Structure 1
Amino acid sequence: MRKDQQLIPEVPRPNAENPEELSDKLKVTEPKKWAAGVPAVLAAFADILEETGPTRGMGALLKMNQKHGFDCSSCAWPDPDDDRSPVAEYCENGAKALAEEATTKKLTGEFFAENSLADLAKLSDMEIGKKGRIAQPVYLPKGGTHYQPVTWDWAFTKIAEHLNGLDSPNEAAFYTSGRTSNEASFIYQLFTKEFGTNNMPDCSNMCHESTSVGLAESIGIGKGTVTLNDIHDAEVLMIIGQNPGTNHPRMLTALRKAKENGAKIIAVNPLKEAGLIAFKDPQTVKGIVGSGVDIADLYLQVKINGDMALLKAIELLLYQAEIETPDQVFDHKFIQENTVNYEQFIEHIKQYKVAELAEACGIPVGQIEAAAEMLKHKSKIIVCWAMGVTQQKNGVDVVKEITNLVLLKGSIGKPGAGLCPVRGHSNVQGNRTMMIYDKPYEKQLVKIKEVYGFDPPTAHGFDAVDSIKAMHDGRLKVFFAMGGNFLSATPDTTFTAEAMRKTRLTVNVSTKLNRGHLITGEESIILPTFARSDKDEINGVPQLVSCENSMGVVQQSKGMLKPVSDDLMSESYIVCYLAKAVLGSRSVVNWDRYMESYDNIRDDIEKVIPGFEEYNKQIRRPGGFYLPNAPRAGKFETDDWGGKAAFNVAGLPMHKPEADEYYLTTIRSHDQFNTTIYGLEDRYRGIHNERRVIFMNAKDISKAGFKAGDQVDISSHYDGQERIARLFIIVAYDIPERNTAVYYPEGNVLIPLSSVADKSNTPTSKLVFVKIRKHDS
């Protein structure tokens, strides 16, 4: 080393994962046999009072999910068309989501000066999120250790310098979370197309993409076909790979109504979940002082990824019943008039034996026969599913197998029947309707050119998984995230963190701090935005935005709380300022017009996207409006199948785990939504004060020489690479043998980025093979 050279101290690198620490306060109690009730009310109000105070929080609760209020930023379960509760049209987790965003705590320049990224990374995800709302734009310089306040103009200039300095627009990617409104999503994709790229990864890529692909190929639309009233009127409901008590609690009210109307419910899930066993509705007397309502009439504890074998077993039993009593089980009139490939499907299903399928799925033959019996002479059948189905290697084919079952019974296009994928984030379905998609359709691009006059790019862009690979390879230089926590939501945490660090600039439009803000490119910017509950005004005129729920209803959302800072900007304004800064005079879009009123954005949405006629008028109707849905009306707009629905033929998955390997799935605790951790009380499963736990069957624990409470490390082995999640505590649980579960995102480090669902490219977060060994301290 020359004398004039100096050693530059190494900057501490923030950890991309939750700290590998245990609280020493883990308490394990008996899992609950019912969901909600008075404890849910108390837990919800406790969070509201702590974060917002009684006046601000309680006032907002009365407006959440009301027809002239604001949309909950949590799940996408639909609101009733008519009979909404005047005091509590929300659930426990919805109230907790409101508490998170309506908090009065805020992060100013002083906070960021006092807290380095490395220090913040030592906190848990829950602790990071509890710090408060981001109150002003902040910037992390190259080599910096702390974010520092900047002006909005400075931030947009910096972003424009990076984007305009790229060799190609395809060196940037623009991510979207499901919280983004229709209006912001529409102009966001418009900007990216005018900028010149279709690199638009979104949260759907990581959750229900398998649904979108499977349904589009089978019935001509990538959405469900039912309404909320259909749920109430169904004769049989199958709930597969979904835990409504934790992930969509308001669904329990709909299931209660269905039960009161005589419906039978079949639950299919590897874990026994409280919300699938019974429901105590806190808005009813029976839910407060009584035993509540039993939910599942039949609970099938399928093996992880055993859904395909189970569905085929049920279909085979129904086929055998149809042979015995012709025209009494299958709806042949519907099949003949509305479907293709029926004969091929029957020839395929006939090759199986029920006993073999039962062994493959882990369900006794008698229980499968009971399920088939429930379905045999019913036609008002609805199948609901979520990520337990879609985040599997064969997720697309399982969605199609669900469709096969519905088609056999003619259970689509009629009241009380159909397909019901239950979406996660509140507007993830609306994002896709607004053309947030890395593979835009030709007719959409033609319409963009017709309305705006520029040629949008036609080449497919990067989805979420491909974006991570491209960042890691150096092909992506700028990553812009409209909401969300991309780092913690994606698989293969270590690899993803390495990828993010290879970019030149990361930008996050956010309400609160999360771990994704700590793992950055060479430079990083955080742009603070309004939450759903925040009042949004332009020149003193209150603005409204809109969202689309899981059942295709578009309704208004109008915030009512005073924002915690005067230095916040709406998502739509951020997009407009971004477009003006980046595109300048070469843009043909009148961004200033969009900034005058969100009505102007909706006027243009109406011109581009079918189904939004008289958008501004329709969105102001109480309860909003339904988008067109051909299968709901008994029509199938399938290009490949001549306007008919298609039966699908797919084989069983072939898994060959090693003798010491276990099936592992990731799950949410009851005290979280997506990557947001509200607390450490997974009371339904009886886990308190800790998240680093692995649920195992008691027999497996004993066979492996472990005992409940042991500290272990978990490893996955894929393509010659070992991934390790360290320091977890074993908890004995009612789960099939050789099946295990850990919380997300703590388990994400185990999921290889290259393990994805066929066709949809969705990470297989619901199945990875792991080994378990005593913790190496």
Structure 2
Amino acid sequence: MAEMGPKRSLQTLLKVNHVDGFDCPSCAWGDPDPDHRKIAEFCENGAKAVAWEATRKRVDAAFFAEHSVADLRERDGHWLESQGRLTQPMHLAPGATHYAPISWEDALALTADRLLGLADPNRAVFYTSGRTSNEAAFLYQLLARRLGTNNLPDCSNMCHESSGEALSATIGVGKGLITISDITDYADLIIIVGQNPGTCHPRMLSALEQAKRRGARIIAANPLPEAGFGRYHNPQTARGLVGPGTQLADRWLPVRINGDLALFAGLNRTLVDREDSQPGSVLDHHFIDRYCDGFEAAATSWRALDWSQIETMAGLPRRLIEDCAADVLAADSVIVCWAMGLTQHRNAVATIREIVNFLLLRGNIGRPGAGPAPIRGHSNVQGDRSMGIWERMPQPFLDRLRDEFGFDPPRAHGLDTVGSIKAMRDGEVDVFMGLGGNFAAATPDTQVTETALANCALTVHVATKLNRSHLCHGTEALLLPCLGRTERDRQVSGEQFVTVEDTMAMVHSSHGRLLPGSPHLRSEVAIVADLGHALFGDDLGWRGMRDDYAVIRRHIEHVCPGFHAYEERVRQPGGFMLPRAPRDSRTFPTSTGKAQFTVNPPTAPEVPPGHLLLTTVRSHDQFNTTVYGLDDRYRGIKGGRRVVFLNRKDLRDLHLHDGDLVDLISVNPDGERRAPGFRAVRYPTPRGCAAAYYPETNVLVALDSTAETSNTPVTKSIVIRIEPSDGGASV
């Protein structure tokens, strides 16, 4: 109400996630079938995301005239974004202290001039946020490749890249295999590990409630006790409002940070041991023999595991792991859900491969109510990858792009997010362009990243709101304001819609309903298409694609697998599901044509005496880097974000008390990094483990600290020590 007012609130919220409305700009959780959607098909965080975008506040030329860049850099991210919507293109000239207005024509001409003047196209980087639509993402990768580079980092590099790497190698598809109905109607057991649905995917709770009422069991494995695993009161039902609520988790396993690989290795050892003692009673040998490779090597490795090592690494007694195995044996169909609590560790890919092993052992892939379920956090991050936003797209995709548009795309792999930061740091990039997102706040090693951006000759950001990245600028900078998901998009051919892909691989349309926040706003599609025209003329039909998004979708159906008859199918209520061969037909497009068992010896970070293992978490008043408020209702935090959650025994051993101010110092091979002024909060974390909010703690993550294979920053297992603070930062 404060952001949008009563009329706009009603107009907007009743269209969120509806067939004739727009896709929520928050998380990527899937929608129920159109016939089963509620009037209010959104959660608290979705309402915040919509209000944050559809706010009546404005950041205009007068705002930038009043505030210098130096002044704005002193403000925190919450203040910057709460000022309102950007209204017109802004330019920061070389040596200038303030952003100043610039016309669209001059802004695009300037960007094109700098890109065409590059000594090598690979001296440009094109970053993408997971909120970008399919149409804009497809045009964006087309523009970069037409220029001659595959430097297409995106936010997936920092979140679910580990999932994609592990799943592609083991089952041949880098996406999850479940639908909402698998959870609500079919699964006997749902294991939620490294995920906090109550804060990060609240609409998931209603699906879990339906599963519980049907009789499914739920196991939650997480270092911190989370509200979403306890008693759930569904605010859209009378039972939820006045009744006792539904206890969601039947078991909570307080696994040690980064103990998930050991947990699943222990589960797999238990299953194999019981099969050895009772042959034919535990494992699905028909499935293993027909559809899988590598079982014997994996089984041999499990039999050799030492239980004391598993218990130490997992932080759980053998008895609890074996009790979970009993739940597994009682279930015909099992789903494992996870999020960034698994993907952002050094051994993240190995952990997810071990989860695949667990599912393969009892044939829990390719049947209703079973399979892997990486739960995506950003509304279209999965769709961006389907559209070609990846620095390592396979050759067949590039071949189809060549055949469709008549130019040969570059074949050499480009830079991912970490690689882009290193290249900018080392003076190897001249132009950085960001299509949405908050690159400086989302990435690791904050000071290094900000310096890297400053090394560029030009930084260009397409955005709806002012954020930290816009103040970490190159020699010259542009801010290009775009339409939000909530706003009407009218082009020459009429009103347009865009499409997105959710975490269940459902592709559906999104129709903005509000009038644009400023007459100077352009859609992301129009901005990219106009830049393409400024760079190359109309060689690929940039103007036609800008004027009618159906033209883009016709190109997509020729280039992107699974998008045949795109226009027709996406206009159907609820859209359509992309094919996933392991789910659809138990076909595994791996190198051998079979699912792959793998050997993943349990590992854990070395934590020296007197040190702790820190994981980063999101507060309840936050979505990714966007901070809506300074409270965390579920954890009892009021009015501040610089807090560190510590076990009471660790507080005692460190001679600290609840409420003391401390500094967090990360220990890395290339030196230490310090985050000052955090308030110690007693909390039931596992012994030796701590937690704090990001992006405040991103400064502690070394740029070279990445996951094996995926190169994802390791933000979930940071070795730190704690010192009393000198009061260098406010709480």
What TM-score, normalized to structure 2?
Answer: 0.98
1:306 is the counterpart of 2:259: yes
User: What amino acid is the match of 2:568?
Assistant: K
Q: What secondary structure is seen at the aligned counterpart in 2 of 1:328?
A: coil
1-side partners of 2:544 and 2:330: how far apart?
57
CA contact (8 A) 2:18 2:34 kept: no
2-side partners of 1:665 and 1:355: how far apart?
24
Instruction: String of CA shifts for 1:15-40, please: whole Å, max 9, x gaps.
Output: xxxxxxxxxxxxxxxxxxxxxxxxxx
CA contact (8 A) 1:317 1:354 kept: no
CA contact (8 A) 2:313 2:604 kept: no
Aligned residue number for residue 692 of structure 2: 742
CA contact (8 A) 1:65 1:89 kept: yes
Aligned residue number for residue 189 of structure 1: 141
Q: Which residue of 479, 482, 491 corresponds with 2:432? A: 479
1:617 is the counterpart of 2:559: no
Alpha-carbon offset, residue 154 of structure 1: 0.6
Q: What secondary structure is seen at the aligned counterpart in 2 of 1:238?
A: strand
1-side partners of 2:373 and 2:43: how far apart?
20
Alignment of 1:356-367 (within 5 A): 356-367=309-320
Q: What secondary structure is seen at the aligned counterpart in 2 of 1:687?
A: coil
Aligned residue number for residue 460 of structure 1: 413
1:762 is the counterpart of 2:715: no
Instruction: String of CA shifts for 1:196-225, please: whole Å, max 9, x gaps.
Output: 000000000000000011000000010001
1:348 is the counterpart of 2:304: no
1:727 is the counterpart of 2:677: yes
Q: Which residue of 115, 135, 150 corresponds with 1:198? A: 150
Work out the number of aligned pairs and report it: 726
2-side partners of 1:344 and 1:278: how far apart?
42
1:52 is the counterpart of 2:4: yes
2-side partners of 1:202 and 1:622: how far apart?
30
* Residues 185 and 134 of structure 1, relative CA distance in 2, 3 Å threshold: same
Alpha-carbon offset, residue 716 of structure 1: 0.9
Aligned residue number for residue 630 of structure 1: 581
User: What amino acid is the match of 1:759?
Assistant: T
Alpha-carbon offset, residue 377 of structure 1: 3.2
Alpha-carbon offset, residue 557 of structure 1: 0.1
Alignment of 1:166-565 (within 5 A): 166-232=118-184, 233-539=186-492, 541-565=494-518
CA contact (8 A) 1:242 1:387 kept: yes
Alpha-carbon offset, residue 527 of structure 1: 0.3
User: What amino acid is the match of 2:552?
Assistant: I
CA contact (8 A) 2:313 2:603 kept: no
Q: Which residue of 86, 105, 119 corresponds with 1:153? A: 105
* Identity level (%): 47
1:679 is the counterpart of 2:629: yes
User: What amino acid is the match of 1:670?
Assistant: H
CA contact (8 A) 2:258 2:604 kept: no
Aligned residue number for residue 71 of structure 1: 23
1-side partners of 2:227 and 2:323: how far apart?
22
Alpha-carbon offset, residue 59 of structure 1: 1.2
2-side partners of 1:661 and 1:57: how far apart?
48
1-side partners of 2:480 and 2:294: how far apart?
51
* Residues 720 and 611 of structure 1, relative CA distance in 2, 3 Å threshold: closer
2-side partners of 1:545 and 1:84: how far apart?
23
CA contact (8 A) 1:454 1:588 kept: no
2-side partners of 1:734 and 1:563: how far apart?
46
User: What amino acid is the match of 1:734?
Assistant: P
Alpha-carbon offset, residue 655 of structure 1: 2.8
Aligned residue number for residue 26 of structure 1: none
Alpha-carbon offset, residue 324 of structure 1: 2.5
Aligned residue number for residue 29 of structure 1: none
Alpha-carbon offset, residue 366 of structure 1: 2.1
Alpha-carbon offset, residue 680 of structure 1: 1.2
CA contact (8 A) 1:316 1:354 kept: no
* Farther off after superposition, 504-513 or 345-354: 345-354
Q: Cα RMSD between the aligned structures?
A: 1.0
Alpha-carbon offset, residue 316 of structure 1: 1.1
Q: Which residue of 26, 33, 47 corresponds with 1:95? A: 47
User: What amino acid is the match of 2:707?
Assistant: A
2-side partners of 1:82 and 1:103: how far apart?
28
1:596 is the counterpart of 2:547: yes
1:605 is the counterpart of 2:556: yes
Instruction: String of CA shifts for 1:658-695, please: whole Å, max 9, x gaps.
Output: 11110001100000000000001200011111100000
Q: What secondary structure is seen at the aligned counterpart in 2 of 1:57?
A: helix
2-side partners of 1:636 and 1:493: how far apart?
43
Alpha-carbon offset, residue 374 of structure 1: 0.2
Instruction: String of CA shifts for 1:58-117, please: whole Å, max 9, x gaps.
Output: 211100000121000100000012444342110000000000000011111111100111
Specify every segment of 5 or more residues in structure 1 that has no aligned partner in the other structure, as ranges.
1-48
CA contact (8 A) 1:328 1:377 kept: no
CA contact (8 A) 2:255 2:316 kept: yes
2-side partners of 1:655 and 1:247: how far apart?
26
CA contact (8 A) 1:412 1:634 kept: no
* Residues 658 and 182 of structure 1, relative CA distance in 2, 3 Å threshold: same
Alpha-carbon offset, residue 240 of structure 1: 0.6
1-side partners of 2:452 and 2:19: how far apart?
43
Q: What secondary structure is seen at the aligned counterpart in 1 of 2:407?
A: coil
CA contact (8 A) 2:255 2:314 kept: yes
2-side partners of 1:765 and 1:278: how far apart?
29
Alpha-carbon offset, residue 588 of structure 1: 3.1
What TM-score, normalized to structure 1?
Answer: 0.92
Alignment of 1:20-169 (within 5 A): 49-169=1-121
User: What amino acid is the match of 2:215?
Assistant: G
* Farther off after superposition, 718-727 or 331-340: 718-727
Alpha-carbon offset, residue 613 of structure 1: 1.2
Aligned residue number for residue 639 of structure 2: 689
Aligned residue number for residue 614 of structure 2: 664
Q: Which residue of 645, 648, 657 corresponds with 1:707? A: 657
Instruction: String of CA shifts for 1:718-738, please: whole Å, max 9, x gaps.
Output: 124110000000000011011
Instruction: String of CA shifts for 1:317-354, please: whole Å, max 9, x gaps.
Output: 11122122222211110000000000000000000133
User: What amino acid is the match of 2:163?
Assistant: T
2-side partners of 1:379 and 1:492: how far apart?
45
Alpha-carbon offset, residue 359 of structure 1: 2.3
1-side partners of 2:113 and 2:365: how far apart?
52
Q: What secondary structure is seen at the aligned counterpart in 2 of 1:379?
A: coil
1-side partners of 2:143 and 2:37: how far apart?
39
Alpha-carbon offset, residue 654 of structure 1: 4.1
Aligned residue number for residue 582 of structure 1: 535
Q: What secondary structure is seen at the aligned counterpart in 1 of 2:2?
A: helix
User: What amino acid is the match of 2:680?
Assistant: I
CA contact (8 A) 1:104 1:132 kept: yes
* Residues 715 and 432 of structure 1, relative CA distance in 2, 3 Å threshold: same
User: What amino acid is the match of 1:742?
Assistant: A
Specify every segment of 5 or more residues in structure 2 that has no aligned partner in the other structure, as ranges.
none
Q: What secondary structure is seen at the aligned counterpart in 2 of 1:663?
A: strand
User: What amino acid is the match of 1:351?
Assistant: A
2-side partners of 1:300 and 1:650: how far apart?
21
